[in-house]
Structure 1
Amino acid sequence: MGQTAAIPEPLHESGLKSRLTVPVLAYGGILMAVMQTVVVPLLPDLPALTGASPGAVSWMVTATLLAGAVLTPVLGRAGDMYGKRRVLMAALTLMTLGSVLCALSSHIGVLIAARTLSGAAAAVVPLSISILRDELPPERRGSAVALMSSTVGIGAALGLPLAALIVQYANWHTMFWVTGALGAAGVILVRWAVRESPVRQPGRFDVAGALGLAVGLVCLLLGVSQGGQWGWGSARVVGLFAGAVVVLGLWCARQLRSREPLVDLRLVARPRVGLSHVAALLAGFAFYANTLVTAQLVQAPEATGYGLGLSIVATGLCLLPGGVVMLLLSPVSARISAARGPRVTLVLGALVIAAGYVVRIADSRDLWMIITGATVVAVGTTLAYSALPTLILRAVPAEQTASASGVNVLLRTVGQAGSSAAVAAILVHHTRPVAGVPVPALHGYQLAFVMAGGVAVVAAVAAWCIPAEPSGGAEDVRRATEGGTRGARDEALEGA
């Protein structure tokens, strides 16, 4: 694997830049989530605005999802090798360039390509968490990592009403000029306030491994995201899933043989790491159904008997309390992890998500109950999402933090894609005509809640099965990291 740079002393100085490191990185995480959601209010109008079909327009979302899934582990590995701040700035720059291109063009091909560039922003959170591990003293690290992980939900809650307001009162290109300006500010702030960590894992970048992972993930996620539209039994979807199995199988075999793999699968196979990834997949699935179903439910016409007929701006405001709660609760989550361990926090978070869906099943007609249930799910998501990176930080060597965190975020993305497909399948099969138009029945929404709540319970079980951290585990990992040999790391992590 090559020798690993010694771990630097954490950042203790009290200068302005050091105090702004955490807020600047959190700003980048919120901006990433905003970028992923701002296009949603535009989707119904984009076919008329661009002259493209609804199917082509949907690729503005699909392309961002695919690019983010592929680039998150790749950029995480690049950050471990070449410098996390450097790669973080590159990801924010690509995101900004994507916004500018969207602001300058109405051609659907350019828009899809631009949204693909914006998908690079998905790597911002794992790279930032890795920087926080390297730069902050232990007493500040837990709360900072919890806040960083919560930015995903905070940004999503802020992005929808912000975009809806801009689209309602200004030209739609204005939205992308605004996000482009915010992205450029993020690049400048990171360059100014965040120092480059000397923690590296030298070696040769696995280009073939990156290409293999890209092909396999594109086949998998494209099949999941388009299965409802193309037909789950269609030749295209079956072929994509078969291709994903073959390519990812060959990719895994090659990674296990490689001396410098893109993803260290031996590390992933350890229970503390592997089960954390499984819990991330399930938590992503459970969380995402809340956003999807809430948005559709409150916008449904009143003629359905349950819908509230809200505008997209009002819909975004319904989700806003959840974002505020995630911001306020991130330090509480960190304190729970410090006192009881991140495994307990993750179990608690998954169970709270399930409890939120119980509220949603009990009453999905009254606005205040809908907001209450959605906010409870947000509380559980805060606990779960803040615990996951802490589990990874405690289970992997410092020089592999960004790549391991990238895989964890990737699996959350895969879980969200699976949730989107499953919710869509349920709602399509439970519709009834309203004014001659088929719309989802309330029973369909409730089944989606049952499904998401059940997955949250399974996530809690997976989290409970994560082995407890061995005594002195974090210090053993640190010493093994400084030693820099695979054998030393394997020995130190044997209990993990």
Structure 2
Amino acid sequence: MSGAVVSPVRIGRLSIGALGILALALGTLQSVVEPAIPLLQRELGISPAEGALVANTLLITGAVLAPVAGKLGDRYGGKAVLVRLMTLVSAGGLVASVAPNLPVLLLGQVLQGVMVGALPLSFILVRKHLPAGESQVAIGLVVALFTGGGIVGTAVAGPIAESLSWHGMFALPTIAIIAATLAVTRLMPHDPPLRSDSRIDWPGVLLLSGTLLAFMLGLVTVTSAALPPLAIGAIAVVVVALATGWVVVERRAASPMVDLRMLAKPAMWSSCVLTFVIATGFGMVLFLLPQLFTVSADGYGFGLGTTDIGLLLVPGAIAGAVSDSVGGVAARRFGPRAVIVTGAVVTAATMIALASLHTAAWQLVVAKVLTAFAAGIGTTALLAGTATAVETEDIGIATGLLVVTRVIGVALGVQVGGAIAAAGADPVSNLPSESAFVTGFAIAGLVAALSLLVVRITKKEVQA
């Protein structure tokens, strides 16, 4: 049995293709909400804050589920867990496609958030059935197609909503997910659990889920509402208490959800720190660029509509998809450290330049292309490198932790960008001032430069 796991010829292009198509469909379903938030606000009669909640619900669920899904895949087999999670995602898509109001739509988004767990589960399947070098390339392909789905979702959300309804934005990708899941079920060989005789550390699962949920909800609340210091302190205490409880439980568990010795390895924790820094900087870019396209004021801004903004953001989305596929290959050839350094330099230089030059739309388009490519190759290189650096039985939880770190980093960057824009809003027009965008771009550049410092500090660990 172990020989089948490490054999480089046990799965072929059809199996990898089925995983890739599933990732493409999932990326599409995930991304249709972003350009449709104004439409959903009008159709459902909800406020902008409630519209933001629609977008954040999937992210929060994904952050909670990603490490849990990876651990379940390590224990029970990647294919078995993947198929079950896709059943939940499909149910969520169908619920959203018939949602008559906001609560039902949020329920659908909660179920769809499970899709984030598909990435670490796909990594488990690829790593078990391919040798290290080929698995890095395959991981890059799966991530690239997931990112590519974001391009598709952004592009088709408007036309589908106009020709059918906003319900169709959820229904069509869900049908594709169901078909791709059936293909994976038929084509992908079963991977037997590596530690089927051990128990799931459910206290650890609940505490980690609670920590992530409290952190994500606290992040959204703190950055979107004027809370008193006491309330902010209370949220921080809850997060720290849950995290501390999780560490205590994991140290004492006979079969912990996360082996803290693995997390303490320099290669693992440095990858988590770098992924977080890279994703945070990119999250700020994700928020600030569309805002600058939208705003219309004397001397700055462009006053563009949703369709035009989507078209201008497509080149960046394409660059992100390409970078994800290149990231695995680059990590294999040059090593993750060299890839990260290159991406950090490009991002920092781009953001500093954009802080000074942002008077033409093409400048923003180029900035999005460069930063998306840099962030994509960096985080994918770290994912691919980690998947081949840890023990086989820990692939799911290790990559799951990196995926959730990436999600949290992007969420933090988006919220920080929003806070900067809100703090710099003109009191009369309530629009972000030009100085707010300049500050945001400069801070994003500094965050990118911070990753260079992290690489220097952890040089030996990243190379390992």
Give the shorter-chain TM-score range.
over 0.9
Q: Residue in 1 aligned with 2:316?
A: 322
How far does residue 421 in structure 1 lie from its aligned partner after superposition?
A: 1.7
In structure 2, list runs of 5 or more residues that go unmatched.
none
How far does residue 210 in structure 1 lie from its aligned partner after superposition?
A: 1.2
When residues 213 and 7 of structure 1 are mapped into structure 2, their CA distance, relative to the original with a 3 A threshold, is farther
Q: Is the partner of 1:198 in helix, strand or coil?
A: coil
Does the CA contact (< 8 Å) of 1:256 and 1:266 recur in 2? no
Q: Is the partner of 1:201 in helix, strand or coil?
A: coil
- The correspondence for 2:270, drawn from 275, 298, 302, is 275
Residues 1-400 of structure 1 mapped to structure 2, 5 A cutoff = 8-12=5-9, 18-198=12-192, 200-202=194-196, 203-233=198-228, 235-301=230-296, 303-400=297-394
Distance (whole Å) between structure 2 residues aligned to residue 325 and residue 398 of structure 1 = 31
Distance (whole Å) between structure 2 residues aligned to residue 387 and residue 176 of structure 1 = 31
Residue identity opposite 1:262 in structure 2: M
Q: Residue in 2 aligned with 1:416?
A: 410
Distance (whole Å) between structure 1 residues aligned to residue 369 and residue 108 of structure 2 = 33
How far does residue 426 in structure 1 lie from its aligned partner after superposition?
A: 0.7
Does the CA contact (< 8 Å) of 1:84 and 1:131 recur in 2? yes
Aligned pairs, number: 463
Residue identity opposite 2:226 in structure 1: G
Q: Is the partner of 1:432 in helix, strand or coil?
A: coil
Does the CA contact (< 8 Å) of 1:33 and 1:155 recur in 2? yes
Q: Residue in 2 aligned with 1:486?
A: none
Does the CA contact (< 8 Å) of 2:455 and 2:462 recur in 1? no
Does the CA contact (< 8 Å) of 1:88 and 1:127 recur in 2? yes
Residue identity opposite 2:442 in structure 1: V
Does the CA contact (< 8 Å) of 2:144 and 2:321 recur in 1? yes
Distance (whole Å) between structure 1 residues aligned to residue 142 and residue 187 of structure 2 = 16
Does the CA contact (< 8 Å) of 1:361 and 1:450 recur in 2? yes
Distance (whole Å) between structure 1 residues aligned to residue 325 and residue 171 of structure 2 = 33
How far does residue 224 in structure 1 lie from its aligned partner after superposition?
A: 0.6
How far does residue 85 in structure 1 lie from its aligned partner after superposition?
A: 1.1
When residues 159 and 362 of structure 1 are mapped into structure 2, their CA distance, relative to the original with a 3 A threshold, is farther
Residue identity opposite 1:461 in structure 2: L
When residues 458 and 405 of structure 1 are mapped into structure 2, their CA distance, relative to the original with a 3 A threshold, is same
When residues 469 and 414 of structure 1 are mapped into structure 2, their CA distance, relative to the original with a 3 A threshold, is closer
Does the CA contact (< 8 Å) of 1:88 and 1:124 recur in 2? yes
Q: Is the partner of 1:437 in helix, strand or coil?
A: coil
Does the CA contact (< 8 Å) of 1:5 and 1:199 recur in 2? no
Distance (whole Å) between structure 2 residues aligned to residue 365 and residue 92 of structure 1 = 44
How far does residue 18 in structure 1 lie from its aligned partner after superposition?
A: 1.6
Distance (whole Å) between structure 1 residues aligned to residue 385 and residue 255 of structure 2 = 24
How far does residue 5 in structure 1 lie from its aligned partner after superposition?
A: 6.2
Q: What whole-Å deviation, never above 9, does each CA across 1:85-113 have from its counterpart, x for those lacking one? A: 11112222212111110111212211111
% same residue: 26
Residues 411-490 of structure 1 mapped to structure 2, 5 A cutoff = 411-432=405-426, 436-468=428-460
Residue identity opposite 1:291 in structure 2: L
Q: Is the partner of 2:430 in helix, strand or coil?
A: strand
When residues 126 and 49 of structure 1 are mapped into structure 2, their CA distance, relative to the original with a 3 A threshold, is same
Q: Is the partner of 2:431 in helix, strand or coil?
A: strand
When residues 354 and 159 of structure 1 are mapped into structure 2, their CA distance, relative to the original with a 3 A threshold, is farther
Q: Is the partner of 1:309 in helix, strand or coil?
A: coil
How far does residue 332 in structure 1 lie from its aligned partner after superposition?
A: 4.1
Distance (whole Å) between structure 2 residues aligned to residue 125 and residue 470 of structure 1 = 22
Distance (whole Å) between structure 2 residues aligned to residue 150 and residue 279 of structure 1 = 20
Distance (whole Å) between structure 2 residues aligned to residue 402 and residue 267 of structure 1 = 13
Taking structure 2 as the reference length, the TM-score comes to 0.93
Does the CA contact (< 8 Å) of 2:132 and 2:388 recur in 1? no
Does the CA contact (< 8 Å) of 1:81 and 1:201 recur in 2? yes
Give RMSD over aligned pairs.
Answer: 2.3
How far does residue 351 in structure 1 lie from its aligned partner after superposition?
A: 2.3
Does the CA contact (< 8 Å) of 1:146 and 1:385 recur in 2? no
Distance (whole Å) between structure 2 residues aligned to residue 193 and residue 101 of structure 1 = 28
Taking structure 1 as the reference length, the TM-score comes to 0.87
In structure 1, list runs of 5 or more residues that go unmatched.
472-495
Distance (whole Å) between structure 2 residues aligned to residue 424 and residue 327 of structure 1 = 25
Q: Is the partner of 1:438 in helix, strand or coil?
A: coil
Residue identity opposite 1:454 in structure 2: L
Does the CA contact (< 8 Å) of 1:271 and 1:467 recur in 2? no
How far does residue 141 in structure 1 lie from its aligned partner after superposition?
A: 2.1
When residues 209 and 75 of structure 1 are mapped into structure 2, their CA distance, relative to the original with a 3 A threshold, is same
Deviates more, 1:181-190 or 1:216-225: 181-190
Deviates more, 1:288-297 or 1:304-313: 304-313
Q: What whole-Å deviation, never above 9, does each CA across 1:355-384 have from its counterpart, x for those lacking one? A: 332342232221111111110111202210
How far does residue 249 in structure 1 lie from its aligned partner after superposition?
A: 0.8
Distance (whole Å) between structure 2 residues aligned to residue 112 and residue 121 of structure 1 = 15
